[in-house]
Amino acid sequence: MKVTTLQPSQGPTHHSAAPAEQARQLRVASHSHIKGLGLSETGEALTQGSGFIGQAQAREACGVVVDLIRLRKFSGRALLLAGPPGTGKTALAMAISHELGTKVPFRILVASEVYSAEVKKTEVLAENFRRAIGIRVKETKEVFEGELTELTPTEAPNPLSGYGKTISHVVIGLKTVRGTKQLRLDPGVYEAIQKERIVVGDVVYIEANTGAVKRVGRSDAYATEFDLESETYVPLPKGDVHKRKELVQDLNLHDLDAANARPQGGQDIMSVMGQLVKGRRTEVTDKLRAEVNKVVKGYVDQGVAEIVPGVLFIDEVHMLDIECFSYLSRALESPMAPHVIFATNRGLTLVRGTDDITSPHGIPMDLLDRCLIVRTEPYRREEIRKVLEVRAGVEGLAVGTEALDKLADEGSRSSLRYALQLLSPSAILAQLSGRQEITPEDVQETHDLFLDAKRSARGLEDWASESESSGPGGGGAVEIK
């Protein structure tokens, strides 16, 4: 089976809370302060650890789930995070991802995403299931690695024609810390070197079996003292020129599905136009997935590959319908199933796609029985104040003690999210007033400018009652307090 090589992208690096480094951060996300579950060595929740505050019982329960996932004993089950809005359900899922590490695939799916106009609902679920199952491929290759010191193509008369010449072979020299070596290689290697735009002084490695050539970078012997350099300088490789190198590549099952499902059309104009007109997303057949599974199992049996079950986090799971829940029940029993985490803020509600089936959290009972349910509690005022203090540090904002107290009061009256949303506008108002620190007056002014959900709903109710009392054509402005 042909597998397309994928290079992992480098994500943004999070720095400490120094002001100069904070200024270089492009964007602060909602859960940038979450670095883990914040548990002690015995599994007990710390008062404040890894950016997580509060939800001690839920964090300890998620810590047990993390241990089960590491021991490969959570297959076929799901974790359900249930609680009111703004109680840290998504934060818990992100913390679990940080605890498992970057090598474990973690896929986030909002339940509304399955209702796509391009593909079926079950196809979207199947695709995300496959994305959450990682494959670590280990391959030992014989390579020639070093700094290119010589590149001499040798020409010979073209045997097919009396005119012109062709490249018969190429002589290259490679240098490492231990020594140098001169190689005589196939002319196809010279074509690959030209394609990669490799010149003398570059550090390269060449696979002995396939002849594939890769440019690692420019040798640091050619580095200058100037900062305006577009080149990536690398040190001279250690060891011998000819060596055995173990390459590790992380993929997921969907990468293999997509690489083998993509049609390889011809190069004529009709084939190219047909690929452009065709939609980007195509459904992968069950037959193809079965073939991919068979090949992957063969790699695992040979010791070449290793299956890394990841985590699929489905937020707002009550938005799924009965067909999706039926598919999930079957998919959880599959031997190629990731660890699944659900999150919902609904109580006893109607299951979507049915007329009269009411179930806790909008999930059918047969699927709910497979779940370990963790409840999240509303935050207390002291916890809201600590969260605001942590978020202010992450966003690089200076907040006074009295302003923090007022923000905590607003969060306890309305919600934690509303208090967090007041931080940045209050900082802007403080800057307009010529201050670097947020004061209670800035918080009060921001509170007057922006409504929370409860005040907005209460104002609409007052407006509706005022309109009814005034009769047809009546009504007027209603002050929202």
pLDDT at 11: 39
Beta strands in 326-394 (DSSP E): 339-344, 348-350, 358-360, 371-375
Find where tokens 């079996």 sit: 209
3-state SS assignment for residue 309: strand
pLDDT at position 474: 52
- Category of 383 on φ-ψ map: left (φ > 0), alpha (ψ -120 to 50) or beta: alpha
Residue pLDDT, tens place only, 39-51: 998 889 888 878 8
What does the alpha-carbon distance between residue 217 and residue 196 come to, in Å, rounded to a whole number? 11
Q: Is 244 helix (H, G, I), strand (E, B) or coil?
A: strand
pLDDT per position as a tens digit, 383-410: 999 999 988 888 889 999 999 999 999 9
- Residue 300: count other Cβ atoms within 10 Å of its Cβ: 13
State how far the alpha carbon of 463 is from the alpha carbons of 42, 460, 469, 472, 478, in Å. 55, 5, 10, 14, 6
Does residue 111 or residue 478 have the better pLDDT?
Answer: 111
Biggest distance spanned by C-alpha atoms of the chain:
102
Answer whether 452's CB lies under 8 Å from 415's CB: yes
Average pLDDT, the chain: 83
The closest alpha carbon to 38, from 98, 80, 89, 106, belongs to 98
3-class secondary-structure state, position 220 = helix
List domains and CATH numbers for the chain.
30-132+310-375 (3.40.50.300), 139-249 (2.40.50.360), 381-450 (1.10.8.60)
What is the average per-residue pLDDT within 317-335? 91
Provide the pLDDT for residue 8. 38
Residues 6+ apart with CB under 8 A from 208: 141, 142, 143, 144, 242
Percent of the chain topping pLDDT 70: 85
The secondary structure element, H or E, covering residue 170 is strand 165-175
The yes-or-no verdict on residue 158 having pLDDT over 90 is no
The string of pLDDT tens digits covering residues 278-312 is: 545 667 888 888 899 999 999 899 888 899 889 99
Q: State mean pLDDT over 7-23.
A: 38
Q: Which residue has the higher pLDDT, 67 or 208?
A: 67
Element (H, E) at 219: strand 213-219
Q: Which residue has the higher pLDDT, 401 or 260?
A: 401
Is pTM beyond 0.75 here?
Answer: no
Does residue 271 have a pLDDT over 60?
no
| pLDDT average, residue stretch 311-334 | 92
Model confidence band, residue 226 (pLDDT cutoffs 50, 70, 90): low
**pLDDT tens digits along 228-254:** 566 788 888 888 888 887 778 888 898
Query: What is the bridge-based pairing of β-strands 311-315 and 106-110?
Result: parallel
Model confidence at 178: pLDDT above 50:
yes
| Angle, helices 401-413/440-449, rounded to nearest 10 degrees | 30
- What does the pLDDT read at residue 4? 39
Measured between alpha carbons, how far is 223 from 271 in angstroms, rounded to an integer? 47
pLDDT at 375 over 90: yes
Predicted pLDDT at 280:
55
Query: Which of 22-36, 223-237, 268-282 is most confident?
Result: 223-237
* DSSP notation for 125-136: HHHHHHHTEEEE
pLDDT one-digit tens code per residue, 57-109: 999 999 999 999 988 888 778 999 999 988 889 999 999 999 998 888 999 99
On the question of pLDDT at 473 being above 70, the answer is no
CA neighbor of 350 nearest in space, from 365, 362, 367: 362
Predicted local distance difference test score (pLDDT) of residue 117: 72
Amino acid found at 394 = V
Instruction: Specify the pLDDT at position 263.
Output: 58
Q: What are the contacts of 344-351 at 24+ separation with CB within 8 A?
A: 344/80, 344/81, 344/82, 344/316, 344/317, 344/318, 345/82, 345/83, 345/84, 345/85, 345/89, 345/316, 346/318, 349/318, 351/321, 351/322, 351/325
Cα separations in angstroms, 124 against 36, 130, 283, 308, 413: 29, 10, 9, 21, 40
Count the Cβ atoms, other than its own, within 10 Å of residue 175. 19
Extended beta strands in 89-132, E state: 106-110
Q: How many Å apart are CA 249 and CA 338, to the nearest integer? A: 19
